[in-house]
Amino acid sequence: MNTFQQLGLEEHLLQAINDLGFETPSEVQQKAIPTLLSDENDLVALAQTGTGKTAAFGFPMLQKIDVNSRTTQGLILSPTRELCLQITNELKLYGKYCKGLNVTAIYGGASITEQAKNVKRGAQIIVATPGRMKDMISRRLVDISKIDYAVLDEADEMLNMGFFEDIKAILSHTPQEKSTWLFSATMPKEVSIIAKKFMANPTEITVGSKNTGSKNVSHEYYLVGSRDRYAALKRLADAHPHIFSVIFCRTKRDTQKVAEKLIEDGYSAGALHGDLSQNQRDLVMKSFRNKQIQMLVATDVAARGIDVDDITHVINYQLPDEIETYTHRSGRTGRAGKTGVSMVIITKSEQRKIKTIEKIIQKSFVKKDVPDGMEICEVQLKALAHKIHDTEINHEIDPYLDEINLLFEDSSKEELIKKFFSVEFTRFFNYYKKAKNLNSPSGNDSFSDEKKDDQSARFFINIGKKDGYDWMSMKDFLRDALGLGQDDVFKVDVKDSYSFFNTETVHMPKVLEFFSDFKQNGRYINVEITEKKERRGNRRFGGQKGGRSRRKDGFRSEGRGNRKDRRKDNGGRSPRRSSDFKPQGSSSSRPRRNRRK
């Protein structure tokens, strides 16, 4: 079934499809639409983001509901407000020829009375986030007791976000006889539990091999020293003047920090994460869609499912905790038949994760070098040349041209071009002329780690894999417990029942003091300093032993309090930009991005 006509859709829907410019149904649409149209089965569909799932459930639902009735007949649950709005808009487009159709979005952070009003007008379809939906049910502002269709969209993500109980509560207000359609990119245990609990003999559809990413995305990684992440990010952006990208960080804090730094450095960037108000998020998304923002720095949750076409690059500023999440990230690019690049900035200790990802996505990464200063100057210069070449002449300048022409009377075209381009080139050149090589040699320890070795201390800690840690969670634990910054804990090496890590020597007293009396799960955590120049694996512990006086109060509150104080002592966030990126001289010597449009 290669055409929409063959799927059994009615004429007015085909007309809308035609208007949208969809030529052929995607795989999930080919499989789901006829099934959903022909019987009243439950359905579990596994398909990547960007495969057209909205239309796969949207068209059958639109065909099946009765637009002459004002009863709510379809409920779509979706994890975020962004997605809710996206689905609502999409359904409105699909149903543009369904006279009397009313699709209403329900989500937190906006006026509940306004939403209730829209429902009251006779919403046949409600698209909702679980939290707000539950709220509205308990206030009796919606009635879903007569629905025929319930869709759980991005089910894995909803469960990740802890919506299980909410979903359960919501579904308990729906009739037994309805059909439930579940859509998910992955099938973790929790999703199969939902499927078992709330569905009867569902038809199952899997599209593509599970978890593999889009064919149109190529994957690259850049190996840098742990302190050069940000510098590398800037170089990648500078080397792609037309970049339109989502940059993923692991935490809200890092997301905010990276976005702030980029903005400070003159890039058109914005942050998207859960700590922002809905208003701020809307504004950022609007600017991004309009391409006023070239780089959207986002957390995984906030960016999930965002459907913005034309994203040229996804940059993994940090790899995600859950490797599976990588597929979602890279799926933000290479959409709608376009090609895209997913870039990963990693440090040496993360290199093995690349192998794991390669297995999941069934594609190889290309290891690339972070471009050096001269490469960037060249790229920027050429981009400028093309921009000027393609610029339409603005005749408003005509009246002033006589004077300008006079000034350049004796200049040849060649000289003029040289001078003209030197204006821009010199700015980049001055900025990058002393730029160092950011690439970390892959054979040995990264040089930036090496450099740090002189001023760093290596610690032994008596917790390890047995306690459920891997290097990343160990690093997080230490950073949080000690109130240290992103790159302040490094060379984390987690063994079975113990681990090693480094900090700069200045943090040594803090580390020893903190762990002199620290309990976790009722057990004292012991940290000792290892002898300097000690080779890994050959451990002998020297240094002080921490005293073990008992603490009266529990760790949690104390840990938290300490963390805050420490941060204050450090003078707040310390971005420690590498000197490479300190603008030389005045702020005007810093290369500014040309804003799009």
Binding site for Mg ion (CB under 5 A): 53
Which partner, Mg ion, ligand ADP, none, binds residue 285 by CB below 5 to 8 Å per kind?
Answer: none
Instruction: Find the shortest distance in angstroms from Cβ 54 to Mg ion.
Output: 5
Instruction: Find the shortest distance in angstroms from Cβ 302 to ligand ADP.
Output: 16
Contact 70, 124 (CB under 8 A): yes
Which partner, ligand ADP, Mg ion, none, binds residue 118 by CB below 5 to 8 Å per kind?
Answer: none
Q: Which is nearer to Mg ion, 53 or 335 (CB)?
A: 53
Instruction: Find the shortest distance in angstroms from Cβ 7 to ligand ADP.
Output: 10
Q: Which two structure tokens, joined as six digits, stand for 298?
A: 């986002």
Residue number, nearest CB to Mg ion: 53
Which residues face 316 on adjacent strands? 248, 344
Contact 146, 126 (CB under 8 A): no
Q: Which is nearer to ligand ADP, 19 or 565 (CB)?
A: 19
**CA–CA dist 133, 136 (Å, integer):** 5
Which partner, Mg ion, ligand ADP, none, binds residue 546 by CB below 5 to 8 Å per kind?
Answer: none
Q: Which is nearer to ligand ADP, 19 or 165 (CB)?
A: 19
Instruction: Find the shortest distance in angstroms from Cβ 52 to Mg ion.
Output: 8
DSSP string, 14-73: HHHHHHHT--S--HHHHHHHHHHHH----EEEE--TTS-HHHHHHHHHHHHS-TT--S--
Instruction: Find the shortest distance in angstroms from Cβ 33 to Mg ion.
Output: 15
**CA–CA dist 2, 100 (Å, integer):** 30
Instruction: Find the shortest distance in angstroms from Cβ 53 to Mg ion.
Output: 5
**CA–CA dist 518, 546 (Å, integer):** 10
**Which of 563, 573, 565 lies closest to 479, judged by CA?**
563
Which partner, ligand ADP, Mg ion, none, binds residue 51 by CB below 5 to 8 Å per kind?
Answer: ligand ADP
**CA–CA dist 285, 82 (Å, integer):** 9
Instruction: Find the shortest distance in angstroms from Cβ 388 to ligand ADP.
Output: 34
Instruction: Find the shortest distance in angstroms from Cβ 40 to Mg ion.
Output: 23
Alpha carbon 557 to its chain centroid, in Å, reads: 31
Instruction: Find the shortest distance in angstroms from Cβ 197 to ligand ADP.
Output: 23
Which partner, Mg ion, ligand ADP, none, binds residue 52 by CB below 5 to 8 Å per kind?
Answer: ligand ADP
Instruction: Find the shortest distance in angstroms from Cβ 11 to ligand ADP.
Output: 18
For 332, the 3-state DSSP assignment is: coil
Which partner, ligand ADP, Mg ion, none, binds residue 307 by CB below 5 to 8 Å per kind?
Answer: ligand ADP
Strands 179-184 and 203-206, sheet pairing? unpaired
Instruction: Find the shortest distance in angstroms from Cβ 29 to Mg ion.
Output: 12
Contact 527, 546 (CB under 8 A): yes
Looking at residue 580, what DSSP letter applies? G
Other C-beta atoms within 10 Å of 34: how many? 17
**CA–CA dist 423, 587 (Å, integer):** 16
Is residue 460 within a helix (H) or strand (E), and if so which, with residue range?
A: strand 456-461
Is residue 222 within a helix (H) or strand (E), and if so which, with residue range?
A: strand 217-223
Q: Which is nearer to ligand ADP, 336 or 506 (CB)?
A: 336
Q: Which is nearer to Mg ion, 158 or 236 (CB)?
A: 158
Cα→Cα distances 510→128, 322, 516, 553, Å:
48, 31, 10, 20
Instruction: Find the shortest distance in angstroms from Cβ 588 to ligand ADP.
Output: 41
Which residues lie near ligand ADP (CB under 6 A)?
22, 25-26, 29, 47, 49-55, 305, 307, 336
Is residue 141 within a helix (H) or strand (E), and if so which, with residue range?
A: none
Which partner, ligand ADP, Mg ion, none, binds residue 74 by CB below 5 to 8 Å per kind?
Answer: none
Alpha carbon 280 to its chain centroid, in Å, reads: 17
Q: Which is nearer to ligand ADP, 337 or 537 (CB)?
A: 337
Q: Which is nearer to ligand ADP, 95 or 305 (CB)?
A: 305
Contact 191, 182 (CB under 8 A): yes
Looking at residue 335, what DSSP letter applies? -
Q: Which is nearer to ligand ADP, 37 or 116 (CB)?
A: 37
Q: Which is nearer to ligand ADP, 305 or 373 (CB)?
A: 305
Which residues face 171 on adjacent strands? none
Q: Which is nearer to ligand ADP, 26 or 578 (CB)?
A: 26
Contact 272, 303 (CB under 8 A): yes
Q: Which is nearer to ligand ADP, 52 or 74 (CB)?
A: 52
Q: Which is nearer to Mg ion, 53 or 240 (CB)?
A: 53
Which partner, ligand ADP, Mg ion, none, binds residue 464 by CB below 5 to 8 Å per kind?
Answer: none
Kindly list the strands in the beta sheet with 313-316, ordered across the sheet, starting from the edge strand earlier in the chain: 269-272, 295-298, 245-248, 313-316, 340-346, 217-223, 365-368
Is residue 93 classed exposed, middle or buried when 0-12, 13-18 and 19+ CB atoms within 10 A define those classes?
middle
**CA–CA dist 346, 437 (Å, integer):** 15
Which partner, ligand ADP, Mg ion, none, binds residue 334 by CB below 5 to 8 Å per kind?
Answer: none
Instruction: Find the shortest distance in angstroms from Cβ 583 to ligand ADP.
Output: 40
Which partner, Mg ion, ligand ADP, none, binds residue 347 by CB below 5 to 8 Å per kind?
Answer: none
Which partner, ligand ADP, Mg ion, none, binds residue 25 by CB below 5 to 8 Å per kind?
Answer: ligand ADP
Which partner, ligand ADP, Mg ion, none, binds residue 292 by CB below 5 to 8 Å per kind?
Answer: none
Which partner, Mg ion, ligand ADP, none, binds residue 78 by CB below 5 to 8 Å per kind?
Answer: none
Q: Which is nearer to Mg ion, 53 or 219 (CB)?
A: 53
